[in-house]
Amino acid sequence: MRALLRLAWLSLANRRFTALLTIATIAISVMLLLGVERLRQEAREGFLRTVSGTDLIVGARANPVQLLLYSVFRLGDATNNVSWQSYRMVADDPRVAWTIPLSLGDSHRGYRVLGTSGAYFEHLRYAGDRGLEFAAGKPFNGLDDAVVGAEVARTLRYAVGDRIVVAHGTGRATLAQHDDQPFTVVGILARTGTPVDQTVHVSLEALEAIHKNWRFGTRIGEAPTAEQLAAADLTPRSITAFYVGVERKLSTFAVQRMVNEYREEPLSAILPGVALQQLWNLLGGVERALLATAACVVLAGLLGMLTAVLATLNERRREMAILRSVGARPGHVLWLLLLESAFLTVLGVLAGLLLLQAGLAVAAPLLETRFGLFLSVGWPSAPEWRLLALVLGAGFAVGLVPAVLAYRRSVADGMTVRT
């Protein structure tokens, strides 16, 4: 076997140009396959960690996925609001450590405006235990302060100190502008790769203030003065939803049951992780389609190897015949071609791994900074090892085709000159 290994290696070295092209084709296809798998895994993990550390999400009675979509991903609208009294009932429960109120309904140039409290910047977590950080500025403090997400700032080219106007409603184009009470950007959040990046944040009191002279979506009269707002009660009558963190994890289900059975108002308390998993299952077809596309690329690379080996097989008839004439048995010829295919596949897989690691080392910081996508550089995960095993097995299977053809040829066939 050692002699066959050496002979197979020397045979590939003799045809190094074709062999290198074949290895490069397999390497690129393997890099794409593993890259898609790594991206799929990281996207899934990032998706499931969009809201970390939040034990419950509470909103009006609704389907868990619907509540998740509008409270976390800012997609769609709530079926109803939650009264401030109900929110305070949950927030004041001794089993609850903290809450983050959320109020949606306005927008700014296509981006959702979120009314919340300072607890948002203190307690909101994503990607495990990562908290919100400021790329510039600070959290809002006054009624005319706004904090914008990284994507909002990048797309609209905002900087600290810029003035922005919020629109009534969530449509991308609306004439109902709160232009009589503009906001000033006081902070820009660092990129998170979550819906936070695409959100404009203001205080709950600020949302109440800009709607003081509005009734049923229409402006009535002049905007209240700063003195009038200072004397006014800006406690919201209702909010869209709120996040809940409990003192002890064992209390999570007890608090959830209390909210779901609350008789004064129909509410839903959902577990974010469970709802995120349900939503991801609905989107599972997309990731399977990406993986199937990458698998087709690998198949094309292996077929390219098969084509290259078959193309040279007819030219190597005399080589095979000489090997047979000096004592090589048909099995030796079969193993020789199998080993050549195995060498090409293994070298292609190794080169693909190296290309993937090099690409991730270069692209990971850019993807994290620009898109908030966190890709890890390191050894392949268990699913990736399984994919590599499948690629190696497929390479061996493809190598059987030329090996069997060479096995079936005779010495006389090799010595015959074809015209």
Is 50 exceeded by the pLDDT of residue 411? Answer: no
Sequence-distant (≥ 6) Cβ neighbours of residue 376 within 8 angstroms: 38, 42, 360, 364
What pLDDT, in 10s, does the model give residues 262-277? 999 999 999 998 888 8
Helix (H) or strand (E) holding 350: helix 330-371
Q: Left if phi > 0, otherwise alpha if psi is -120 to 50, otherwise beta: which for 84?
A: alpha
Q: Which of 77, 118, 83 is nearest to 236 (CA)?
A: 83
Report how far residue 22's alpha carbon sits from residue 395's, in angstroms, rounded to the nearest whole number: 12
118 vs 383: which has the higher pLDDT = 118
90 vs 335: which has the higher pLDDT = 90
What pLDDT, in 10s, does the model give residues 22-70? 888 888 888 888 888 887 777 777 777 788 889 999 999 999 999 999 9
pLDDT at 91: 96
pLDDT at 323: 66
Most confident range, picked from 67-71, 306-310, 411-415: 67-71
**Strand residue runs (E) in 241-302:** 241-246, 267-270
Q: Which of 337, 349, 360 is nearest to 298 (CA)?
A: 349
From first CA to last CA, the distance across the chain in angstroms is 36
pLDDT at 99: 97
The one-letter code for the residue type at 194 is T
pLDDT at 47: 73
Is 90 exceeded by the pLDDT of residue 145? Answer: yes
Q: What share of the chain has pLDDT > 90, as a percent?
A: 35
Q: Is 150 helix (H, G, I), strand (E, B) or coil?
A: helix
Strands 267-270 and 56-60: antiparallel
pLDDT at 217: 58
What pLDDT, in 10s, does the model give residues 277-287? 888 777 777 77
Tracing tokens 């979506």 back to the chain, one arrives at 217
Read off the pLDDT of each residue in 172-181 and give the average, rounded to a whole number. 69
pLDDT at 133: 94
How many degrees, rounded to 5, is the angle at CA 75 between CA 190 and CA 78?
Answer: 120
Distance of CA 58 to the CA centre of its chain: 25
Q: Write down the pTM of the prediction.
A: 0.72
Helix (H) or strand (E) holding 370: helix 330-371
Per-residue tokens: 291: 């993986």
14 vs 381: which has the higher pLDDT = 381
Contact 342, 14 (CB under 8 A): no
Sequence-distant (≥ 6) Cβ neighbours of residue 362 within 8 angstroms: none
Q: Which of 237, 415, 203 is nearest to 323 (CA)?
A: 415
Is 60 exceeded by the pLDDT of residue 416? Answer: no
Tracing tokens 């790594």 back to the chain, one arrives at 38
What pLDDT, in 10s, does the model give residues 98-141? 999 999 988 998 899 999 999 999 999 987 788 999 999 999 99
Read off the pLDDT of each residue in 369-384 and give the average, rounded to a whole number. 71
313 vs 291: which has the higher pLDDT = 291
**What is Dmax (Cα atoms) for the chain?**
106
| pLDDT, the chain, mean | 82
What pLDDT, in 10s, does the model give residues 209-225? 887 766 655 666 666 77
Tracing tokens 């000159």 back to the chain, one arrives at 417
Report how far residue 390's alpha carbon sits from residue 32's, in angstroms, rounded to the nearest whole number: 15
Is 70 exceeded by the pLDDT of residue 73? Answer: yes
Is 60 exceeded by the pLDDT of residue 348? Answer: yes
327 vs 120: which has the higher pLDDT = 120
Per-residue tokens: 327: 């004592």
Per-residue tokens: 190: 């660092």
Q: Is 18 helix (H, G, I), strand (E, B) or coil?
A: helix
